[in-house]
Structure 1
Amino acid sequence: MTPAAGALRKAAWTRTRRGVQGVAAFLLLAELASRTGLVDRDVLPPLSSVLTEAGRLAGDAAFRTDLRATVTAWLLGLAEAVALAVPLGLVLGSLPRLDAVVRPVLEFLRPIPAVAIIPLAMLLFPDALDLKTTIVVYASCWPVLINTVYGLREVDPVARESLASFGFGPLSVLLRVSLPSTAPFIAAGVRMSAGIALIATVSAELFASGSAGIGTFINTAGSSARMEPMLAAALWAGVLGLLGNGVLAALEHRLFRWRTAR
Structure 2
Amino acid sequence: MATTKELSVEDKLRALYDLQLIDTRIDEIRNVRGELPLEVEDLEDEVAGLTTRLDKLKSDLEVIEENIKVRKNAIEDHKESIKRYTKQQESVRNNREFNSLAKEIEFQELEIQLAEKQIKEMKASIEHKKEVISNSKEKLETKQAHLKHKKAELDDIMAETAKEETFLTEKSGEYRGMIEDRLLMAYDRIRGSVRNGLAVVSIERGASAGSFFTIPPQTQVEIAARKKIITDEHSGRILVDSSLAEEERQKMEALFASI
TM over 0.5: no
Name whichever structure is richer in helix by fraction: 1
TM-score class normalised by the smaller sequence:
under 0.3
- TM-score for the superposition, normalised by structure 1: 0.25
Name whichever structure is richer in strand by fraction: 2
Greater RCO (Cα-Cα under 8 Å, separation 6 or more): 2
Bigger Rg over Cα: 2
